[in-house]
Structure 1
Amino acid sequence: MLAVDGASSLTEQVIESVREAIHSGELRPGELYSVYQLAAQLNVSRTPVREAMLRLAEAGMVRFERSRGFRVLGRDPREIAEVFHLRLLLEVPAARVAAGRAEPALIEAMRAELDAMRAAAADHDEPRFMRHDCAFHEVLLAAGANRKLVSMVGNLRDATMTLGASTVDRSRTLADIAAEHEPILAAVEAGDAGATAQAMRSHIAHTGELLLAQVSAENGVAAAPEDVDLIHSA
């Protein structure tokens, strides 16, 4: 269940293993599990397991029950809608500001990250792809000179990743996701702040819509109209 390869911390690897176990049905929503048993199953100490479960609890994926262990929770479509509502409120105007300050170094950095995304897509290396996807957004947002905003958006992206919500090979491919970044870069290169904001809005809203539909389907229902509206109200 857990492969320790040294590429990331034990806590991160436990998080990934637990996510995979939840998605495969090995760990079932509503069931109560013990940190001690999970540590033994993964053949690691209790410390990284406890840290991983705290992270997953913050993301709303599990809930601790005092002196009993943790319970796996179903993913909440509303949480997905709220995360992407916030991302749109933050990233769209920030992209507009950053595009107005675009310099050759910014365009070169964004192009490098997009090229790296395409290469990772060709190798079907999702973790590497997502690192460069995050970097593409961070480079652009950092040009807006608001470090707190960059940090806040990073936390929102981390929350989505910790929940294990991904559209890859479900509703679109890595190559499809990379292609959605091309209009953003083209608008920045053209110095068109309005087009940059619109391209960013289209990309984030589309991702939010797809994830909302997927998580809702996992719960056996269609996406609630009010959740869809929340994404589009930003």
Structure 2
Amino acid sequence: MREIQGASSLTDQVVQAVREAVLSGELKAGELYSAYQLAERLKISRTPVREALLRLAEAGMVRFERNRGFRVLKRDPQEIVEVFHLRLLLEVPAAGLAARNADDTLVAALRQELDAMRAMADGGDDARFMRHDRQFHQLLLLAGGNARLAAVVDGLRDTTTTLGTSTVGRSRNLWEIAAEHEPVLAAVTARDPDAAMSALRAHITHTADLLVGQLTDEAGTPLSPAQAELLGRPGPPAGR
């Protein structure tokens, strides 16, 4: 596990370090670990480690065991299904509202974020790409005039990030993700609510399919009919 350093908060860095260690297999699902030993490995105090573990526990990635430490949990596809079910319920209608009320300022701001995403894809900068991706979605949500809705969706995206799930480099690349935003921008530019909702639904559902597919592959169990229904699918996701 890499040593903690840099400008971001220690807690954020510990969250990232633990996620990376779980993904790499350095920290294994089902195993029990000590927060004290983790702090020693990272060469930092126990306070940011405990804060990070509390955040990861809230997201369902680890579980504390009294007087013993923490256990890494297997990532449950159901968590991602529920997050994306909520995103579909919240973001798709908001995209229609954004297209209906779009002005030149919103269109220009969305285009700027998409251009930035393409630039980050060219440079292979995953972290900055995802910041512009998130801002693109936030602009659509805020265009409806509901800041609370935008905050809720931001929290849902935080949950996905904290769980360490990503399609980048596994199911698709950054350029492919950017391309999925192009029909959304075109629909908003045309002030076409139905097309905007359809394009955003396709993008969010595709992301969900890929992420859930990765997790069901890890778990060795297929997506259940009930889970597929939450994602608007008649059955398990198509081949990835």
TM range (shorter): over 0.9
Q: How many percent identity over aligned positions?
A: 62
What is residue 19 of structure 1 aligned with on the other side?
A: 19
Aligned to 2:70, what secondary structure does the other structure show?
strand
* CA drift at 1:67: 1.6
Contact 1:117 1:129 in 2 (8 A): yes
Q: Deviations over 1:125-163 (max 9, x none)?
A: 111110000000001110100011000000000000100
Indicate conservation of the 8 Å contact 2:4/2:42, yes or no. no
8 Å CA contact 1:96, 1:196 repeated in 2: yes
- Which one-letter code corresponds to 2:224 in the other structure? A
Encode CA deviations 1:89-115: one digit per residue, 9 max, x unaligned. 000011111111101111111111101
**Structure 1 residue 3: Cα displacement:** 4.6
Task: Tell me if structure 1 keeps the 8 A contact 2:4–2:43.
Answer: no
Partner letter of residue 177 of structure 1? I
SS of structure 2 residue aligned to 1:232: coil
Structure 1 residue 86 corresponds to structure 2 residue 86: yes
Retained in 2: the 8 A contact 1:56–1:162? yes
CA distance in 2, matches of 1:167, 1:226: 23
- Alignment pair present for 1:148 and 2:148: yes
Structure 1 residues 12-51: aligned runs within 5 Å: 12-51=12-51
Q: What residue in structure 2 maps to residue 208 of structure 1?
A: 208
Q: For residue 210 of structure 1, what is the amino acid of its counterpart?
A: L
The equivalent of 1:197 in structure 2 is: 197
Q: Deviations over 1:153-210 (max 9, x none)?
A: 0000000010011001111101000000000000000010110011110000110011
Cα pair 1:75 1:163 within 8 Å, conserved: yes
Between 1 and 2, higher relative CO (CA 8 Å, sep ≥ 6) is seen in 1
- How many angstroms apart in 2 are the aligned matches of 1:34 and 1:225? 38
> What is the distance in 2 between the residues matched to 1:214 and 1:139?
29
1:28, 1:225 → 2: CA distance? Answer: 29
For 1:116-131, list aligned pairs within 5 A. Answer: 116-131=116-131
Contact 1:98-1:144 at 8 Å conserved across structures: yes
1:22 shift after superposition = 0.6
Q: Does structure 2 retain, via aligned residues, the 8 Å contact 1:34–1:68?
A: yes
> Which residue identity does 1:227 align to in structure 2?
Q
Separation in 2, partners of 1:120, 1:93: 28
Q: Is the 8 A contact 1:77 1:215 kept in 2?
A: yes
SS at match of 1:179: helix
Paired residue type of 1:153: V
What stretches of structure 1 of length at least 5 have no aligned partner?
Answer: none
Alpha-carbon distance in structure 1 between the residues aligned to 2:80 and 2:31: 23
Number of equivalenced pairs: 233
Q: Distance in 2 between matches of 1:18 and 1:4?
A: 11
- Give the unaligned 5+ runs of structure 2: 234-240
Query: Does the 8 A contact of 1:100 with 1:193 survive in 2?
Result: yes
**TM score, norm. by length of structure 1:** 0.97
**CA RMSD in angstroms, aligned pairs only:** 1.1
Whole-Å Cα distance in 2 between the matches of residues 222 and 20 of structure 1?
25
The separation in 2 between residues aligned to 1:134 and 1:5, in whole angstroms, is 25
TM-score by length of 2: 0.94
